[in-house]
A and B are shown apart, each in its own frame.
Chain A
Amino acid sequence: MLGRLLHPLIAERRTLAGILAWIGLGITVGFVVIAILAPIIAPVGQIAAFTYPVNQPPSPQHLMGTDSAGRDVLSRAVWGARTSLEIMAIGVIIALSVGFPIGLVSGYLGGWIDRIMVLIMDSVYAFPGLLLAAIIAAFIGKGVFNIGVAITVIYVPLYFRVTRNQTLSVKEEPYVEAARSLGAKPSTIMLRYIAHSVVIAIPAIFSLSAADAILTAAGLSYLGLGLEISTPGDWGRDLADAQSFLGDGIWWTSLFPGLMIILLTVGLSFLGEGLNDMINPLLKKERA
């Protein structure tokens, strides 16, 4: 299964989409390494409040300066990678494990169940996701896990749509027809025959929703609905804190956390768009 998912990455490594995907993968893996090594790169001592003089501009000791609470901006940024990736992983994996099966069953069964599911999912999809996530986040409370759960509301409809539409086209394929006429149970057909083909579309959509999840989580934190104040790294909150000191020309507390968000999301979207180009035969034809 994993080999099948990774196959396009290796087969198309010399096309533009392939290069894009590899750059994206490189950036993403880089961030994962930073996140794992955070305790070594930036020991907790450096992110405790008032360890250093406040609002110092970047210098050899503090490459990104210090913030209004006397913390090293670089260390905060490094820990932020860990927090962001944690929230993203929780949110996107839950969304996938809810949206994928519902989409599969809904698309396969069809009929009124499918129509109702599509109606509900489309309504949620058409609404500003951040607002729904903000409402849920405010009520279930702060914390990495809770924010991860809150943002799933945005991505469940996304996985549902992609899975359902793929299922609709795959279920008419002759090999599925053959399985059905051999008397295979619906559950066997869905799991063994359809899911196998539908899953190809997932890595691309996974990376793109991961990029969006990083942005949404940062947005929630920025609005003050995200994480507890004690969280060692939180890019959204760092930007909210930076806001009050912008008037004094303190740019480093705003610039660097923002660049971290952009770099990680750019990495994930390059990966996603590269994969998308590879698996979409229509685009491929156009390119040729």
Chain B
Amino acid sequence: MLLILLTVVFFVLRVIPGDPITALFEGRASPDVIAATRHALGLDKPYWEQYLIYLGQVFTGNLGTSIGEYYRGQSVLAVVLQRLPATVELAVGGMIVASLVGVTAGVIGGINRDKPADVAVRLYGTIIFVVPIFWLGQILQLVFAVWLGWLPAQSRFSGLDLPTHITGLYAVDSLLQGRIDKFFVAIQHLILPSLTLGLVLSGFFTKTVRANLLRTINSDYVEAAKARGISTGRIITRYALKNALIPVVTVLGLQFAILFAGAVLTEQTFSWNGMGSLLLLAINSQDYPVIQGAIIVYAFIIVIISVIIDLINGLIDPRVRY
């Protein structure tokens, strides 16, 4: 999958019009200078040759050097890794919110089948799924930051005294340093973006949990548990929900693609300096190596996550054998 995406992006970038060198000089350089730069960067070679060189580099872990105006000459891998923690932080926060809200709403819907609560949950699941993520972010900012003043609206941290770089995750770094005060600042900044991303993703969780719970509630083993006089609450949590969550984990993998796309928009709304804003910057300066590098890292993460999810599935569901 990685290889195919790489190939698609590589050729798409080159086939569609637009030229990084022209963009680089903004039309202010003589043709000689442009040709010399193009030659130095290897962009004058035929596409297939560029492609082979590029593949060779990627498989040796070298993602090339940036040719854009912001990071020119820097290693793409370093630039991307520097932005990665912010996106990971946001993604983890979003996933936590999405699963908490989604499972809760899904259970409420599932155990109240076809009652008003269930109808409300189903409406929520459908509507929240189509709410534009950047709009939700703006409304949350307006309510919680501008009107109520409870939470910060922008960026990952307040003040210049950032937590020392250990993992790059501000919340984790400040804890490792033992600075509880900084930890709370980092968490405060994380709440609104995570809520924005998480709520939009929760629609999918709500629907899947509800549908699977309905299936397990009607199964024979739940019937058997009822016959043995086990309390309803216990039946739901220990019997029905436990089994209902297995298929949810399976489809979780597909949600990461949506998560990363959503993260790009969330990053923009909250001035969050992650991979998404890096990709935008690279797109706007036609920085091929950084665009390709970011795509590889995204694809790599998605592949790793789907492998992990397969493994988790094997652990929680004894019927799965590899």
Contacts and interface: CB of A to CB of B under 8 A. Distances in A.
Interface of A: 119-120, 122-124, 126-132, 134-136, 138-141, 211, 215, 218-219, 222-225, 239-240, 242-243, 246-247, 249, 251, 254-255, 257-258, 261-262, 265-266, 269-270, 273
B120 to A, nearest CB: 15
Contacts of A135: 9, 12-13, 283, 291, 295
A239 B135 contact: yes
A131 B13 contact: no
Nearest to B207: A273
Contact of A251 (B142, B260, B265, B306): B142
B18 A222 contact: no
A46 B67 CA distance: 44
B257 A254 contact: no
Contacts of B269: 243
B1 interface: yes
Contacts of B131: 258, 262
Given A139-B16, A246-B142, A269-B130, A126 B302 contact: yes
B258 interface: yes
B257 to A, nearest CB: 5
A239 B142 CA distance: 13
A135 B306 CA distance: 24
A261 B135 contact: yes
B139 A255 contact: yes
A277 B238 CA distance: 31
Interface string B275-300: 00001100110100001000100110
A184 to B, nearest CB: 35
A254 B132 contact: no
24 contacts: A120-B8, A126-B302, A127-B299, A128-B298, A130-B265, A131-B260, A131-B264, A131-B298, A134-B280, A135-B13, A218-B132, A223-B264, A223-B280, A224-B280, A239-B132, A239-B135, A246-B138, A247-B153, A249-B146, A257-B135, A262-B130, A262-B131, A262-B135, A266-B127
Q: Which of under 10, 10 to 19, 20 to 34, or 35 or more describes the interface residues of B?
A: 35 or more
A215 B203 CA distance: 15
Interface string B248-272: 0000001001101100110011000
Contact of B135 (A128, A131, A247, A254): A254
Nearest to A119: B4
B206 interface: no
A219 B279 contact: no
B283 A140 contact: no
Nearest to A254: B138
Given A123-B5, A215-B132, A254-B135, A129 B261 contact: yes
B153 A246 contact: yes
Contacts of B280: 134, 223-224
Q: Give 6 nearest A-B pairs by CB, closest first.
A: A258-B135, A128-B261, A265-B130, A130-B261, A139-B16, A123-B4
B12 A266 contact: no
Tell me the dominant secondary structure on chain A's binding face: helix
A219 B16 contact: no
Given A215-B132, A247-B153, A242 B17 contact: no
Interface string B1-25: 1001100110011001110000000
Given A126-B257, A131-B264, A135-B12, 9 more contacts: A128-B258, A128-B298, A129-B257, A136-B16, A141-B17, A223-B280, A246-B153, A247-B153, A255-B139
B134 interface: yes
B232 interface: no
Given A128-B260, A222-B134, A246 B299 contact: no
Contacts of B139: 254-255, 258
B69 to A, nearest CB: 15
B126 A258 contact: no
Nearest to B8: A124
Contacts of A131: 260-261, 264, 279, 295, 298
B127 A262 contact: yes
A274 to B, nearest CB: 11
B299 A134 contact: no
Interface in B112-133: 126-127, 129-133
A42 B253 CA distance: 45
B147 interface: yes
A273 B279 CA distance: 34
A134 B13 CA distance: 12
B141 interface: yes
B128 to A, nearest CB: 10
Contacts of A219: 132-134, 265
A132 B258 CA distance: 12
B132 A261 contact: yes
A130 B302 contact: no
Nearest to A215: B132
Contact of A247 (B4, B134, B146): B146
B154 to A, nearest CB: 9
A136 B12 contact: yes
* Residue of B4, B9, B132, B265 with most chain A CB atoms under a 10 A cut-off: B132
B302 A249 contact: no
Contacts of B260: 128, 131
Contacts of B284: 138, 224
A124 B302 CA distance: 12
A273 B1 CA distance: 30
